[in-house]
Amino acid sequence: MSLIEHIYEFRRRLGYALIALVLGGILGFLWFSNRVGSIPSLGELVTGPYCQIPEDMRYPRGGECQLLQTVPFEAFMIQMKVGLTAGAVLFAPVWIYQFWAFIAPGLYSKERKYALTFVGLASMLFAGGALLAYFMAPHALEILTTFGGGEFATWFTGDKYISFVLSLLIIFGVSFELPLLIIMLNRVGVVRYQMLKKWRRGIIMIMFVFAAFVTPADPFSMIALALALCVLFEISLQVTRFHDRKLDKQRGTEGWEDLADDEAAPFEYTPSSIDDEPRGGTRTDDVT
């Protein structure tokens, strides 16, 4: 394909991806206020952590669980933002496929396999982190609302509360990509198992400090994120251990370990038959 054909192909794939996002946003907007069978509405799912706060700590006390709207159209903008986010997640296979279909023809089969594995694992890890954050959010809110000695009642504005929940989901989801990053760096030879093992204590301390900074000011969510990162780090550490062991065995079999730093590795090259053919003209053995 020529350059202009690549541009046209990218524009077509981008258009399909945007259409998928718009359709997902419309469905998410409608889902915000409507149940789908036994599935709760999107609004109920979003306000679920807030509604789990004890009634005597919410305002109005003992009343219905509702968020506060302080400016006109705030509820509409929140519904649209949450709907677009949910639609992007639900239609992720569609718009991700469009970008994949654009870059896949330029990849080798091995590169395609690695890319598909990476996207699949990254999606599952992000979803796992987001789910953990959603289940931790009620406990975090309950702890945060206990400050003040009972002199305050909690009534969140819709915009602030939605921003808090979405930020928590994104922080946990992105943090769960840590093992995938470590495995990728190990695969390309940047870090090795022995190096990670030597730095284990420092890395664990850094993860606890990171969890303290990115989570709300409650120990429950901080400890949950830090412990989850530690478990994922240990899993990735064992994966790098097996990979390095396999690589060292391969290097020993091929004789690379016995070579000096300035000595060339054994390399055998057998030219293909096409290298013996002339660059132009007709081969003599083809002439009858």
Confidence (pLDDT) at 284: 47
- Please state, as a whole number, how many other Cβ atoms lie within 10 Å of the Cβ of residue 37: 4
Q: What is the pLDDT of residues 163-215, one digit of tens each?
A: 888 888 888 888 888 888 888 888 877 888 888 888 989 999 999 998 888 87
Write down the mean pLDDT value for the chain: 80
Question: What pLDDT band is residue 114 in, cutting at 50, 70 and 90?
Answer: confident
Q: Tens digits of per-residue pLDDT, 252-279?
A: 666 555 666 666 655 565 655 554 555 5
